[in-house]
Every structure is written in structure tokens, then in C-alpha cells.
Chains A and B, each alone.
Chain A
Amino acid sequence: MDTNSANSNLKSEDYFINMGPQHPATHGVLRLLLTIDGEIIKKVEPDLGYIHRSIEKMCERDSYQQIVHLTDRMDYLSSHINNEAVCLTVENALELEVPERVKVIRTIIGELTRIASHCLWWGVMGMDVGALTTYFYGFRDREMINDIFEETCGARLTMNYNIPGGLMFDIHPNFVKRTKDFVAHFKTKIPEYDKLLTNNVIFQKRMKGVGILSKEDAISFGASGPVARGSGYSCDVRKYHSYSALDKVTFNEALKSDGDSLARYEVRIQEMWESLSIIEQLIDNIPEGEHKIATNAVIKLPKGEFYQKVETARGELGVFIHSTGTKNPYRLKFRSPGFSNLSLLNHIAVGGKIGDLVASMATLDLVIPDIDR
């Protein structure tokens, strides 16, 4: 019998795996429908909406002060920066000039938030590639930041510290000292992170050349934040569309051109150093003054369209407000960084192994409520 015809009779089917919505690697309720051939990924199809709360629709019914509180629940790891985005949009639309003190405090807390977010990311990144100990190291340092936040604004995660026109309250008297303590502490800890994970030969082998994203693709997929900067696309909103007190400080944009998972990892480690440097430049120079300026109890934005970009820990968050001059936005859109970054997952994961998918997904640093909104 002819062997060729015998082989053609063999039936071959795609093997589907349902990764999520309850799966340890998806860090939340993300569902990935994987088509695999043995260990090799043929297709990744994200299925979203498990934590969709339609925040955009809720915003259409709420006043601008209320909207700020909803934004905490999107990217909960950069909640302060999300708040700031909405506040800046409203302030720009009203042409309010907030006091210098507010700007500086917003920037310091924003950078602390970024470090806290990257600490958590670093911990779970290690977990995803199988090094369980990193999680506790990351959390140890994050706790210190959370304590600072708790003292100043009463909350550890969803802080609601910003209001249109300034800050909810002034900083706690201990804030400056504790922040300085943290900076000194954390400077000794990042080298520890490198010793534990970055320089590990297994980790290097797992990350190098895995999940490669070229610069052209990063731009085309609308990537932003460390994901895009790992591919060599210089896109730091803090540099190009500076806001708050970021124009007063000097810092380097972390850039790597390799585009692989290791590059994205190193960009985030580098960003922690840069954030520390920003905090150091500002912490001793918090100007005296009011912590907010009075706004109307009912804020009405003028007719028009307003767009504000900020750099969260995950990338570029955009707030688009279409106002008709009433006390609610007619349409409010959040351009979330995770949403665009997720769309390139299929592109970087196809052809790799299941382990590669998990590793490259970890370097995208997805926060699912940020994607679903």
C-alpha cells in the first residue's frame, strides 16, 4: 500500500486550550483561547469582558468629581496616575492653574505609584517563570510605599487623593521623611532584585529572544509604556507631553532596542531607578502653599473636546472628554494602555512554547480591569 495515501487519511485536529478566566498566569479574569500544536502556540485569542463594568457609560451620568473615583478601579496599580489624568483633563478644560505644591506632590506620589506597581510586577513576573520567592521580595518593598500612602491619604491601593483643582488633603507631616527612608532603602534593594532574578542564567535563557516585538510592530499595534520602549520606540509621555512637575526634573527615558522579553524586563528595572531619581529631585523642594484651589461645587466643562495623556506604570493612558457644556461629560473615553498592549499578544506569542507565552505575557504587565474598564 502507498504510504503517502495512508498518511493523508490520518486526521489531524487543532488542540484548543482554554487558559483562564481562572488561571494563575493571567493575573485576573482574562481568558485566552489557545490553539496549540504540542507545546507550540499556533494562535492566541483573548476573550475579554469578565470584569467589564462599563465605566465609560457610568461616567456619562456622573459629575466630574465622581468620575475621578471610578478611575481608581481601572488600573488599580497606578490608581493615583489614573486620578491625575482625569483631574488634569478637567483642569485644562477649565484653564485652572493648580498651585506648584500640588504639582510636585502629584508627581512624587505618581512616581511612588509607578515603583509600587513595578515591584508587584517584578514579583509576579518571577512567579510566572517559576521563581516563587521574588513575589515576597517585591511585596516587602511595595508595603513600604503603601504605608506612606496610607498615612497621607488613608488608603493603600485605590487612593482617590486627587480632586479637580488639587489634592483632597495636604501631605502628612511624616511624608517627606518616610519617602526619603524608602528611597534610601529601595536603592539597596534593586541590586538585590538583579542578584536574585535578572542575573540568573535560567531566567536569562527564558527571556532572551522570547516574544520579539519589532519597533514597527510596536508602533503599529499602538504599544506604549515599557512594552514599546523595550522595542526601541521612544514614547514616554512624561518626556513628550510633560505634565504636572515633570518639566522641572531631569530623567532618562529607559530605552532598549532588542524588543524581546528581557528588554521589556530591563526597561522596567531601569524605570524604577529613574523614578527614584525623580523623587529625589523633588522631595526636598516641595513648595509651600495651598494644597488645592477652590472650584465650583458643580463643575461644568466648556463645550468642546479635551484629551489628556499621562504615563501610567503600564503606558499611555488617554482621557478623551466630549463635553456639551453640562455637568456630565457627553462622552468619555479612556484609552487604556493595557488594551493596546494586549492586542499584540497574539503577534509575539505565536510560534513560541506555552512557557514562552506565559513569560511574554508577564512582561506585558497586563492589569485586566484596565483592559476591560
Chain B
Amino acid sequence: MKIALNITKTIQDLLLGFMPEGTASILAMVIIALIYLAIFSVAGLMLVLVERKVAAWFQLRIGPNRVGPWGLLQTMADALKLVSKELTGTVKADMFLYNLAPYFVIVSSLMALAVFPFTQEFQAFDINIGIFFLIAISSIGVIGILLGGYASNNKFALIGAMRSGVQTISYELSVGLSLLTMILITGSLQLSEIVEVQKNGWLIVQGHIPAVIAFMIYMIAGTAETNRAPFDMVEAESELGAGFHTEYSGMKFAYFFLAEFINMFIIAAVAATVFFGGWLSPFGITDSIPWLGVFWFLGKTFALVFLMMWFRWTFPRLRVDQLLTLEWKYLLPLNLLNIVLMALIVWLGLTIQL
């Protein structure tokens, strides 16, 4: 079976058959963007459903089970409801910034998706600074949250936005540094290259002790960066109502909501790619069938997504000062030490190569 996984090339070749090269490449980009958009709006809805089912499982409930078989269409129905709802707003809101904010959030999370190698060929945009690009893009989302909280003229929203500001700026450091630790092994920022290196063993095995530490720091910081419990200061419904998106309704709210879930997917996907070998199968058992890489990639990602949901439905929330203490007094120094340790291990050639 031959499946055309190299989508960029396939589409471009198809278009080149009947139009000039410049038009073809632009059109190809548009088509790919639309495909990604379609896949990930559905994936976002799926994640919401998964979260609700997982939550129900943790909480001795059944979860959504009315719409469609086993409630599978529940989030579709929710999305349709949100589309049809009125877009309300506060009177004295800064309307331009207020309307702009959801787009910042959703665009930044969709942009990040472009660089992931789902299998060897299935990658829209194989940039040579992949990891750097991901870190840079993921911090743009916080601008949207700050704008949304500031512009909606609500005091709870403003507090939520300010919390989000301090939180993302702080935890961005840990995300970056823990990934940097792994870059020391791979020697490349390009995601396809990083996966290639792991053919000698996943990085969490290659880097053993410092890699495990880096993974744990990354998961903590990643959860914080997506503003999910136990780091959901930004929303903290028992403290701030709904936080920064208190005044949003309908699709604008749905953008924030969807972005949260796509961000969760991104954090898990980065972890799967950098620590667990991306689309590589364990011990190369399915190397002969390349398209199965998609399932390995998604399987690893969803296992990590489940881990993040597990955090959310088990832990209480930290207080805002404890959140900052955790980052600046514990994670950051540990991270810096960990980088030195990893550098020593790479320098002395103590990595485990299978």
C-alpha cells in the first residue's frame, strides 16, 4: 500500500500540472493550511470530548453519552451551539483589542502545529529551527490572554490576565531550558533531525538521568504554560469566576477554549517528539510500514495528554505566589544544573546508544 504522506509535495505536484509555479505554490500553501485547520478543529473537539470522558472516569460519572453513539458527537453539538450564540460584550470594552484577542490565541496555537513531523514525510513545514520556532510561537498566545483580560473591562478578567502574564513569562524559561537540555544530545533544532537521532534510542533513554529530570520539568512547566490545573491561576473559577475570558461568549469564547486544548496537544506532541522518539516505533517493530508512524506519534501524544488530564482532575490548585516560588526557586536552578550535567554526559560520551 502506498499512501502519499508527503502532502506538501503531492499537492504542489498536482497543482503544477495546470498552472504556473508561483500561483501553484501559494495555492498549495492555502490548501495545506485549510487541511490543517480542518483536522485540528476536529482534533480540538475530540480532545474536549476525551477530557470530559476522562474527567467523568475520575469522578465516578459516566460523562457525555446522549448525542451520537457513546456521546461522540457531544462536542460537535456544543460547537454548533457556540457558533449560533450571540456575541456579547461589555459596554466600555476596548472593542478593537477585545475582538483581536481570541485570534492571537488561536492563530498562535495553530501556527505551532505546522512544524510537527507526524511521520517521516507528513510534515507541512520542516524548518531548521523547529524547536526554537515552537517556543517562540507558543509565547505569543499570552499576548492574546493579556489583551483579552485587559480589554474586556472586567476586574476579574484583568486579575486573571495579569496572573497569566507572570505565569507564562516564568514558565517559558523552564520549557525552553528543559528542551535545550535535550538539544545538547541532538545537536540540532530541526524536528525531523531530532527524530532521526532517536533511531539509536529515544532521547529519554539516551540522556538517562538528566533526560528524565528534563522531562519532568518540561511536563510541569508545560502544564503551567497551557494554564491548566494545577496551574490554572488564570481561570481559577473558585477565585475569579472564569478569569480572562469572563466577558467572552459564543465563538470568541470557543477560540479560547479550543486554543487551550490545542496547546495541550502541542505540549504533549513536543514531549513525544523530543523525549519519546516522535513517530518512531518502540524497538523499530513497525519500521517497514512508514505510515504507521502517525499512530505511534498520536499514541505517545495522547498518553501524555492523558497524563496532563490526570494532573488536572487530581490536584488542587497552587496559589499564585507558590506558583512563582516553584518556578524561580526550584525548577529554574534545577534546570540550569541539569543542563550542566547533560553537557558533561554528552562531552564524556556517557549517553546510552542502543
* Cβ-defined contact, A206 with B239, below 8 A: no
Residues on B with C-beta less than 8 A from A128 are: 238
Interface string of B153-189 (1 = CB under 8 A from A): 0011001000000000000000000000000000000
Interface string of A127-155 (1 = CB under 8 A from B): 11111110111001000000000000000
Is there a chain A Cβ closer than 8 Å to B65's Cβ?
A: no
Nearest chain-B residue to A25 (Cβ)? B238
Interface string of B225-247 (1 = CB under 8 A from A): 00001101000111111000000
Is there a chain B Cβ closer than 8 Å to A23's Cβ?
A: yes
Complex Cα gap A140–B239 (Å): 25
Complex Cα gap A140–B58 (Å): 13
* Cβ-defined contact, B238 with A206, below 8 A: no
CB distance from B329 to the nearest CB of A (A): 13
CB distance from B322 to the nearest CB of A (A): 6
Nearest chain-B residue to A18 (Cβ)? B155
Residues on A with C-beta less than 8 A from B58 are: 133
* Cβ-defined contact, B60 with A130, below 8 A: no
**What's the interface size class on A, roughly?**
20 to 34
* Cβ-defined contact, B61 with A206, below 8 A: no
The segment from B106-114, B210-218, B250-258, B311-319 found at the interface with A is B311-319
Of B55, B232, B316, B320, which contacts A202 at CB under 8 A?
Answer: B316
Is there a chain B Cβ closer than 8 Å to A15's Cβ?
A: yes
* Cβ-defined contact, B59 with A130, below 8 A: no
Is there a chain A Cβ closer than 8 Å to B321's Cβ?
A: yes
Of B61, B316, B320, which contacts A39 at CB under 8 A?
Answer: B320
Residues on B with C-beta less than 8 A from A353 are: 319-321
Is there a chain B Cβ closer than 8 Å to A200's Cβ?
A: yes
Within 8 A of B (CB), among A190-206: 196-197, 200, 202-203, 205-206
* Cβ-defined contact, B320 with A129, below 8 A: no
Complex Cα gap A133–B315 (Å): 9
Residues on A with C-beta less than 8 A from B316 are: 126, 129-131, 197, 200, 202-203, 206
Complex Cα gap A133–B317 (Å): 12
Nearest chain-B residue to A17 (Cβ)? B155
Complex Cα gap A358–B156 (Å): 14
Nearest chain-B residue to A26 (Cβ)? B238
Residues on B with C-beta less than 8 A from A222 are: none
Of A24, A205, A354, which contacts B322 at CB under 8 A?
Answer: A205
| B residues adjacent to A (C-beta < 8 A) | 55, 58-61, 155-156, 159, 229-230, 232, 236-241, 313-322
